[in-house]
Amino acid sequence: MELRYYFTYAAVFIFLQLFLYSFTRTLGWFFNLSITKRKALTLISYLVVNAIFLLQLARVISAFRSVALLLAFLLFAFLASIFTAFCYHLMRKKKSHWLRIAYPFILFGSLGLGVYNAYVPKVIHQTIILDKPLDKPLRIGVASDFHLGKLFGGKQLDKLAEIFNQENVDLILLPGDIMDDNVQAYIAENMRPHLAKLKAPLGVYATLGNHDFFGQQELITKEIEAAGIKVLWDQAVEIGNQFTIIGRNDHLYKKRPTTAELLQNVNTQKPVFLMDHRPDEIEIHSTLPIDLQVSGHTHRGQIFPANIVTYLMYRLDYGYEKIGNGHFVVTSGYGFWGIPLRLGSQSEVWILEVKGK
């Protein structure tokens, strides 16, 4: 296992202790427990939660989603506790009984908002003016990071198809993480007819993300293409003698060529659109004849404060920016990873109005 994973697990474990401390302190205050009962609650909570976390980490038990949900709940509780404590001191400890009434509404209200943000997408419109000629304006629909699985499937795909149809898109680009590691739930819940509803006059193109490369990449490709979507495996395809689309595999695919190598046989006098799941080579791509790159992967952190981490990790972790020679779009994704919660981010679809000079 890579060293960075050890640091990640260590950081999660440390934050877990902080969240547990805050949660037990808040419960003691909320129920007005005696010191003895507070100590007992703290001891039991630490023993049980840490045991579950460590057993999952050692893979003695298989409860990843449950552990992730527990961590998320404790994070939301921690944030609610901070807000409540701030109000408590702001009120100078007067009428604190109202805060006891308000606390569960703050906590479960934020959880409800998190579920809403995960399942109700917003539509973002962005106009892009290229430095190259284009026969006519293009309306491109972009959605990434579906993570199709038990918690996100046919209903959400139907909604996405409805959005693209209403927006009258000419082309659809899906830059990675179509499946959530495998195709078991996708097949079991017969999602293919729903995915096949994604249609556009100039076609629907996808590339594979890191979660599509956990051992079932060939089967995932087969299932996606059976729904009428072309998966670009480090390939370039010219559309109607107007522009070229390049699709890069995630860098988990060790044999993937560089973007510069993929450009060698491409007519760069015409617009070039790149799908690259991770936005980790934007500075390199900004020096290449790439007119538009669409990426996902970051989820914009998905749950605050992880968006601070992604902001520090990437040149562009979210949104649109013109950098160097190209235009770059990083979406927070249409779905979610792990658990159906988003805070500080929202599921979304981008509609790009692309025009030539």
Q: What is the CA radius of gyration of the chain?
A: 23
Model confidence over 211-248: pLDDT tens digits?
999 989 999 999 999 999 999 999 999 998 899 999 99
Contact between residue 53 and residue 16 where contact means Cβ atoms under 8 Å apart? yes
Residue in the block written with tokens 């996100």: 152
pLDDT tens profile 115-168: 999 999 999 999 999 999 998 999 999 999 999 999 999 999 999 999 999 999
Residue 286 near residue 325, CB atoms below 8 Å: yes
Per-residue pLDDT at 1 exceeds 70: no
Count of C-beta atoms within a 10 Å radius of residue 66: 13
- What's the token pair of residue 25? 């302190």
Q: How confident is the model at residue 302 (pLDDT cuts 50, 70, 90)?
A: very high
292 in Cβ contact with 312 (< 8 Å): no
Q: How sure is the predictor about 95, in pLDDT bands with cuts at 50, 70 and 90?
A: low
Name the pLDDT band for 179 (thresholds 50, 70, 90).
very high
pLDDT of residue 42: 94
DSSP string, 164-228: HHHHT-SEEEEES--BBSBSHHHHHTT-HHHHTT---TT-EEEE--GGG-SS-HHHHHHHHHHTT
In this predicted structure, what is the pLDDT of residue 87? 85
Q: Which domains does the chain have, with CATH numbers?
A: 3-117 (no CATH), 121-355 (3.60.21.10)
In one-letter notation, the amino acid at residue 235 is Q
H or E segment to which residue 320 belongs: strand 319-323
